[in-house]
């Protein structure tokens, strides 16, 4: 259903995508940008860009289009499902699984796996509001990150969950194994980040579009000796905001990149001792939120995957290959 809003006299100048995300219930800024780019948002009767600065008196109209048939096909990729009902699905994503189709990964993704699951099990479908390539995805984990994710099966569930992510009321706990000895027992990083001005695949404080980001952490376990050069620290991480690559960027800003994270730490973090580390040692351990339909509190916790547990075990027993 089409909606129309006239910008009030007291509205401060802001970008169109920001304005739309605050006036359309459950619509994230990223989703607002996609709608604008699809041409279904007009300002004073004309299509506009996400960056357009709105002003008092502007008439803004938008319409969330009906779902179009997905061109993405289901694939029989194993899923570890923790919970499922007619509104949502919670799963433990394996490391190495890309969340959604994109250039370089048009198949073999989590979305492909979900489409196959719903078709074969007859348990519903995916919310359309996330777009054709990201149906049902309210949030995502990077390819190399494992752990708990929630998937929306209806547009209403997607909107309800998006609102909680936007309000930062989602309870999220990560485990990160980082290089070096983290000082103190706990800490807090407040560093605005955005897409890096020199490398569009990375995020950093060197950006033209900084967005506030806050991460808190506490030390869980320390490994190695300073004289060996093989120090590592296991930290429990609590992201208070949800920016892309936030945890990885904030930890490297402290001088403690995630082990295995070549993108932000270089080759030096892809081994400890003589042991190669093939992916970032980052795990989304806990996810808690309010069920958007029932109002019930849900929280799921999963242990780290086998490769991370094996590395932790070797560090604990000081049995790194010499």
Q: How far apart are CA 9 and CA 44, in angstroms?
A: 16
Q: How far apart are CA 113 and CA 128, in angstroms?
A: 16
User: Which of 58, 85, 142, 155 is flagged as catalytic?
Assistant: 142
Cα pseudo-dihedral 274, 246, 242, 220, rounded to 10 = 50
Residue owning tokens 């990150």:
145
Please spell the DSSP secondary structure of 255-317, one letter per residue: T-PBTT-HHHH-GGGSEETTEE--S--EEEEEEEEE-TTT--EEEEE-PPPHHHHHHHHHHHT
C-beta atoms surrounding 136 within 10 Å: 27
Please spell the DSSP secondary structure of 189-233, one letter per residue: EE--BEEBSS-TT-EESSBSS-B--EEEEEEEEEES-GGGT--EE
- Is 142 among the catalytic positions? yes
**Residue 245: is it exposed, middle or buried by C-beta count within 10 angstroms (0-12/13-18/19+)?**
buried
Q: Could you list the active site residues? A: 142
């Amino acid at each position: 259903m089409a909606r129309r809003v006239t910008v009030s006299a007291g509205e401060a100048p802001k970008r169109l995508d920001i304005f739309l995300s605050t006036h359309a219930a459950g619509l994230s800024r990223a989703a607002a940008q996609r709608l604008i780019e699809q041409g279904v948002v007009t300002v004073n009767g004309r299509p506009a860009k996400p960056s357009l600065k709105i002003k008092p008196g502007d008439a803004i109209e938008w319409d969330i289009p009906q779902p179009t048939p997905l061109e993405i096909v289901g694939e029989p990729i194993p899923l570890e499902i923790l919970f499922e009902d007619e509104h949502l699905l919670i799963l433990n994503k394996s490391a190495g699984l890309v969340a959604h189709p994109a250039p370089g990964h048009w198949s073999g993704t989590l979305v492909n796996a979900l489409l196959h699951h719903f078709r074969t099990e007859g348990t519903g479908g995916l919310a359309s509001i996330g777009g054709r390539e990201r149906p049902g995805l309210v949030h995502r984990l990077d390819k190399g990150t494992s752990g708990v994710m929630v998937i929306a099966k209806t547009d209403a569930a997607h909107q309800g969950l998006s609102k909680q992510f936007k309000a930062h009321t989602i309870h999220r706990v990560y485990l990160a194994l980082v290089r070096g000895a983290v000082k103190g027992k706990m800490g807090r990083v407040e560093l605005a980040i955005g897409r890096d001005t020199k490398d569009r695949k990375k995020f950093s404080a060197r950006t033209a579009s900084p967005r506030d980001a806050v991460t808190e952490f506490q030390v869980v376990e320390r490994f190695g000796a300073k004289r060996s050069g093989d120090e590592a620290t296991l930290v429990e991480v609590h992201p208070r905001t949800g920016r892309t690559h936030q945890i990885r960027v904030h930890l490297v800003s402290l001088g403690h990149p995630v082990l295995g994270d070549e993108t932000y730490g270089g080759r030096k973090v892809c081994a400890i001792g003589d042991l190669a580390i093939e992916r970032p040692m980052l795990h989304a351990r806990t996810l808690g939120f309010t069920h958007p339909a029932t109002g019930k509190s849900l929280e799921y916790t999963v242990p780290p995957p086998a490769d991370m547990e094996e590395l932790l075990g070797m560090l604990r027993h000081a049995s790194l290959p010499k």
